[in-house]
Amino acid sequence: MILLDGKATAAAIKKEIAARVEEMTARGERRPHLTAILVGEDGASKTYVANKEKSCGEVGFDSTVLRLPESTTEEELLGEINRLNRDDSVDGFIIQLPLPKHIDEQKVLNAVDPSKDVDGFHPVNVGKLMLGEPTFISATPYGIMALLEHYNIDTKGKHCVVLGRSNIVGRPIANLLSQKGNPGDCTVTICHSRTPDISKYTLEADIIIAAIGKPEFLKAEMVKEGAVVIDVGITRVPADTPKGYRIAGDVDFAEVAPKCSYITPVPGGVGPMTIISLMRNTFLARSLRTK
Ligand code: GUN
């Protein structure tokens, strides 16, 4: 079993980006600038945004966090988005999800200028991804593709089973892995909450991408010997720790790992790859604006 070390892979990419930012500033250009909008007080979202801010600092980007109260109206949020769309000092921005219930998430995402949509959530960018055109690939699928590429995992003709059909992970990764190329050329099955007998599919899978948000859902008896397992889950489960919780993946790692050819740990697998992919997209947004 080989551990897919997202932390080390992301660190290597981080170095490359930092070097390119140095070249940029040496040419007299300004640094890439990422802004994150955080609405409300969700603990996990606060942590993610703090991690993104930290990562910006490490690669030499400017970063701003716009913290808005839970009571922010949809109209106010749309106003902030329009302001960022027009702000030439901002190359890319993200709206941390989930948003409070009274705000229509898709309406908000649709308001982002596609050229600043470094999360790749705008319909124009989702459409381009579907067509295999160059675009901002949303961070988690992009990170998974980069990890598979970094470890030279042969995906051609393999059966990949994706657990979860979210717009953020399940559907885009299923699409990317079905496209021509390496990583790619997979036969893809998407399973979700309404799929009866999920084991029937996972037992046939050469590659399993677990993105359902159910802690330790994937058990050893659901996995074929030699499978590649990518764990996207990051759920806080109550535990006797100083913070009162621990982070659990969607995979029962202790059980499943011995059967795998490759597996991602949680933490230290997909998580760091997601953040570095956002940095890649922000660098790309900056580069495209300079042209
Ligand atoms: N919430 C969970 N994942 C993401 C992500 O990749 N981007 C944003 N903006 N919010 C998220």
- This prediction's pTM: 0.97
Nearest CA to ligand 1 atom 3: 97
Enumerate the active-site residues. Answer: 52, 96, 119
Assess whether pLDDT exceeds 80 at residue 90: yes
Shared-domain flag, residues 94 and 152:
no
The residue whose CA is least distant from atom 4 of ligand 1 is 97
In a domain, 83, yes or no: yes
Kindly report, residue by residue over 192-231, the tens digit of the pLDDT: 999 999 999 999 999 999 999 999 999 999 999 999 999 9
**pLDDT surpassing 90 at residue 284:** yes
Q: Is residue 201 part of a domain?
A: yes
139: Cβ below 6 Å to ligand 1? Answer: yes
* Residue 223 counted as domain residue: yes
Q: Which atom of ligand 1 is nearest to the CA of 138?
A: 6
Output the pLDDT for position 290: 83
In a domain, 133, yes or no: no
Over residues 10-59, the pLDDT tens digits come to: 999 999 999 999 999 999 999 999 999 999 999 999 999 999 999 999 99
Q: Are residues 253 and 152 in the same domain?
A: yes
Same domain, 102 and 148: no
pLDDT at residue 109 tops 90: yes
144 lies in the same domain as 227: yes
189: CATH? 3.40.50.720
The number of the ligand 1 atom at minimal distance from the alpha carbon of 274 is 6
Tell the residue nearest (CA) to atom 1 of ligand 1.
97
Q: Note whether residue 98 is domain-resident.
A: yes
Residue 123 within any structural domain of the chain: no
For residue 30, what are its two tokens? Answer: 């300004």
Its domain, for residue 61, covers 28-113
- pLDDT tens column, 144-159: 999 999 999 999 999 9
Kindly state whether residue 39 falls inside one of the protein's structural domains: yes
106, 227: one domain: no
